[in-house]
Chain A
Amino acid sequence: MQFLPGDPVHYLLRGYEAEGQVEALRKEFNLDKPLFTQYYIWITGLLKGNLGFSIFYQQEISGIFIPRFIATIELITLSLILSVILGIPLGIISAVKVGSFEDGLIAIISLIGVSVPVFVFGVILQIIFCIYLDILPTIGRVSFFEDIFDSIKHLILPVLSISLGLLPYVIRNVRSEMLEVIKTDYIRTAWAKGLSPFKVYYKHALRNSLVGTLAVIGINFGMLLGGSVVTELVFQWPGLGTLFIQALMSHDYQLIQILVLVYALLFTLVNFIVDLIYIIIDPRITFEG
């Protein structure tokens, strides 16, 4: 970190520096000690629950952190759920009606979805719903506990925005998995038993496609994170994303380090959960496998 250009103290003082002040502040933030020592101080502090001190916000990081974390988790989980709820049926329809008009339409929408940066979704949604129709608020977040309806109104567009980014991947994956599964012998048996199309597709076929779909979610979780950072910016959502960008702009090293760590942990956690779900869903995979 400290090799990089951009000195946090200079940023902080921004022109009001006097020689002594720079040195004094440096000392306070331990920036004068050798690199190795700085890291040591950081890690031991971390283990004690001390997340460090944000130079920009002039307060303990732990204080800033939690509410922002919750805000971001809100966005990410809801977006994931929405993508899956919309993506699975669309993918199934696409697979069952291969080559039809519906399949083509869904394919085109997917293609457009991956050809556009996530923030464009956000901005366009803002224009349509906030400016033209004026039914939803443009920016900001309201806590769930204060006012449920207002909270939801603020959530809709950001969540929709992020979901639209992930949706095409889910659809494509579900479609290709289902296409394979539909041709199998056991699906033929399911038809022969007299099961309804809904049961055949949503119970028997889907269960087998889920393994692949989970894989795509795991792989694209990174995209979800990236998308959430930008979307938070568009909607000025007080989450980790906006915090991250702010920290980057102001070279707030402590904060940046913590956030990168958090993102990495989140990532690992998600991959771990995905692996767990694999084991639960597919009886052929056991702990030894």
Chain B
Amino acid sequence: MKDSLLKLLIKGFLKRKISLVGLVIFLFFIFCGIFGSYLTPYDPYKTKFSNRYELPNNKNLFGTDWAGRDVLSRVLVGAGITLKISILALCIGSVIGGILGIIIGFMKNSLLKMLIIQINDILLTFPFLVLAILISALLGSSLNNAIIAIGISRIPRYVRIFSLVVNSEKNKNYVISAISIGASNMRILFYHILPNILPIFLVNTVLFFALTIIAEATLSFIGIGAQPPLPSWGLMIRQASENMLVYPFGVIPPSIAILLVVLSANLMSDGLREFMDPKLR
């Protein structure tokens, strides 16, 4: 059972053109993220005030910023930052949220359980962005704190997903029969229940990936996330916008970078969802 659902999902995903385009762009992004720092033509931190505000030319493919730094190099390293942030934040969110959700799902129906679920629902109604901004600012403005803040903001959603699925699955027949033949709780969890969560988890995570990137960019833009001179894309846009009177072009490269990556995540998510829809009905 666990193989077929996942396999079906992947097959359906690959069949659709949109998901494929998204996947390609996404893979390109991951490649840049991992190897970006080794591929930079120039040192992304090296300033050269004699060469500021250059438009794209032979030497600097994306031009230079207000401090004369090569924008292409910064975008590449920025990819790595973005990748690192999203993965870490999603890990925090999904692992903690997942564990909490599973625990809650397994709990017997009681007042305590209802209370916890109610609190979680209230947290869910809070806009993700505002929550992230709040937590991040209170922790102190830094990249790592931004990661933690975004991760924490994601927890309620994961808790909900996991608790709902575990709650509904634990009463199903195949679990009861597994218990009756003496399977241990852990085994039931990993072999039987979790595979059923996988499709929903996957679809949601891809979506959250997109939201996380936007959140990090927003936090950096506000000034609560990555601090200069880190080439976080959001921060780059902020710095470029401060100089927009003299050098409006500066906003373009990081914006397009964000656009492409988030777009790819959305395309993949749409492809997955399109495939899942008729099945869910």
Contacts and interface: CB of A to CB of B under 8 A. Distances in A.
Interface of A: 1, 4-6, 111-112, 114-120, 123-124, 126-127, 131-132, 221-223, 225-227, 229-230, 233-234, 244-245, 248-249, 251, 256, 260, 263-264, 267, 271
Contacts, number: 111
Given A222-B125, A251-B138, 10 more contacts: A4-B138, A4-B139, A120-B258, A127-B248, A226-B133, A229-B133, A230-B129, A233-B222, A234-B241, A248-B133
Chain B contact residues, majority secondary structure: helix
B221 interface: yes
Contact of B127 (A116, A119, A226): A226
Interface string B239-278: 0110011001001000100110011011100100000000
Contacts of B222: 230, 233, 245
Interface in B28-70: none
A225 B255 contact: no
B138 A267 contact: no
B23 to A, nearest CB: 15
Nearest to A219: B125
Contacts of B140: 5-6
A127 B84 CA distance: 31
Interface residues of B, number: 38
Contacts of B130: 222, 225-226, 229, 263
B126 interface: yes
B137 A116 contact: no
A115 B261 CA distance: 8
Of B130, B133, B218, B223, chain A has the most CB atoms within 10 Å of the CB of B130
Interface in B128-169: 128-130, 133-134, 137-141
Nearest to B125: A267
A256 B234 CA distance: 24
A115 B210 contact: yes
B237 A119 contact: yes
Nearest to B245: A131
B138 A111 contact: no
A249 B223 contact: yes
Contacts of B217: 117, 119
Contact of A131 (B137, B139, B244): B244
B206 interface: no
A169 to B, nearest CB: 12
B193 interface: no
Contacts of B237: 119-120, 123
B244 A117 contact: no
B263 A230 contact: no
Nearest to B145: A5
Given A226-B129, A249-B137, A116 B266 contact: no
B221 A119 contact: yes
Interface string B214-238: 1001100111100000000010010
A245 B223 CA distance: 9
Contacts of B270: 111
B218 A248 contact: no
Contacts of B258: 115-117, 120
A129 B36 CA distance: 35
B129 to A, nearest CB: 3
Contacts of A123: 237, 240-241, 244, 251, 255
B262 A116 contact: yes
A118 B262 CA distance: 13
